[in-house]
Structure 1
Amino acid sequence: MAFDWKEIFTVSMVLFAVIDIMGSIPIIVDLRSKVGHIQSEKASIVAMVIMIAFLFVGEEILKLIGIDTSSFAVAGSFVLFFLALEMILGIRLYKDDDPNTASIVPIAFPLIAGAGTMTTILSLKAEFATINIIIAIIVNVIVVYTVLKSSARIEKALGANGLGVIRKVFGVILLAIAVKLFAANVKQLFI
C-alpha cells in the first residue's frame, strides 16, 4: 500500500473527528482565561510526536502483551462509537480532571493526543497505509495549531450554536466510521 489521496482524506477526517479540536475550543478558551498564554507550537509538535511514535510502537506494545491488531481495531471501534455518542448526544461518558496549566499537559496530551486518538491511530493502521496515516496526522496537527492560535476568533465567529452543529455532524461521521471499522475487523476474530 502506498500514497493515496482518498486514504489521506478519510484518515484526516477520522482523526479530525476524534481529536475534535473544534469541540475543544470552549476548553481552550477557558484554559487561556485561567493561565494566560497557551503554547500552541509546543503543544502541536508534542502531540504530533506522540501520535507518530504510537503509530510505530503501539503495535509492538500490543504484540508484547499478546493482542492482535484486529482485536485492537474492534476495541477501537467501540471507543470511537462512544466518542461519537458523546458528540451527538452532548453527554460526557469519559470524565477527566480539570487541568490547571496550559502546557503540554493537558493540550498535547490528553486533549489532542488522548486515549481516543491513540486507539484510533492503531485501529486505522489495520485498514490504511502507514504513510497516509502519517500525512493525515501532520494535516491534523496543522489544523490543531491553527485552531489553537485563533481559538478566540473562531469561538466569536461560530458562536455556541455553530460549534454545537459542527460537533454533531462530526459525531455522525465518526459513528459511521466506527461501524465500518467494526464490520471490517470483527470477521478476523472468528477465523
Structure 2
Amino acid sequence: MFDFKEVISVTLILFSVIDILGSVPIIINLRKKVGHIQSEKATIAAGLLMVLFLIVGRSILSLFGIGVEDFAIAGALIIFALGAEMILGIEIFKPDPEAGATSTSIVPIAFPLIAGAGTLTTILTLKSEYSQSNIAVGIILNLIIIYIVLKSTNWLERKLGKTGLDVLRRIFGIILLSIAIKILKTNLENLS
C-alpha cells in the first residue's frame, strides 16, 4: 500500500547511500578517460540492478552461496580501488578502447558507484521495514535524480574548474576509501 511518509524515508535513505553528488568527481574522471558517459544506459542499468535486488536479491546471493556480507566486502574492494585511483592519480580501471562508453557507463558507474554493495544491501535491509511498492517508488525517485546529475556533469565541471575538480576528486577519494574501510570492517565483523 502506498505510504507517502515511507516513500520519503526510503528515498532519503537511498539518496544518502548512493551519494550521487559525491560521485561527480569520479564520473567526470571516468568521462575524461573514455570521452563520453551514456547517462541513460547507466541509469537504466543501475535501476534494473536495484529492482532486481528488491525482488530476488537474497535468492540470487544464496543461489551462489554468497552472503550479504560477502557481497558487501567485494563491493568495498572495488570502492577502495576507485578511491586509491582518485587520491594517488594511478589508473587501476583501464578503459577498453573496443568497449567504449557503454561498458564504462555500466562498470563502474552503474555498478558499483550507483547500485553498489551498499545500495543493494540497503535495499535488502529496507524490505524488512518498508513495503516493497514504497521501496520501488523510492528507487524510481532516486533514478530520476541520478539521471539529472549524470546529464549535468559537463556543466558541473565547467562551474568547478580544473582546480576545484582536482581538490574535490582527492577529497572524495579519501571519503571513498573511508567508506570502503567501514564496509569492510562492518562486514568482516559480521562474518566472524
**What TM-score comes out, normalization by structure 2 length?**
0.68
* Aligned match for 2:186, one of 184, 187, 191: 184
Deviation at 1:100, TM superposition (A): 6.3
Q: Report which stretch shifted further, 42-51 or 57-66.
A: 42-51
Partner of 2:15: 12
Task: Determine whether 1:158 maps to 2:160.
Answer: yes
**1:24 counterpart SS class:** helix
Distance 2:167 2:188 in 1: 32
CA RMSD of aligned residues (A): 3.7
**5+ long unaligned stretches in structure 2:** none
Q: Is the 8 A contact 2:83 2:176 kept in 1?
A: yes
Distance 1:173 1:44 in 2: 23
Partner of 1:64: 63
Partner of 1:80: 79
Distance 1:179 1:83 in 2: 13
Identity between Structure 1 and Structure 2 (%)? 36
Report the count of equivalent residues: 181
What are the residue-to-residue correspondences of 1:39-50 with 2, within 5 Å?
40-41=39-40, 43-50=42-49
Deviation at 1:167, TM superposition (A): 2.1
**5+ long unaligned stretches in structure 1:** 33-37
What are the residue-to-residue correspondences of 1:1-191 with 2, within 5 Å?
3=6, 9=12, 11-16=14-19, 20-25=23-28, 27-28=30-31, 31-32=35-36, 40-41=39-40, 43-98=42-97, 105-106=102-103, 108-115=105-112, 117-125=115-123, 128-130=125-127, 137-138=139-140, 140-190=142-192
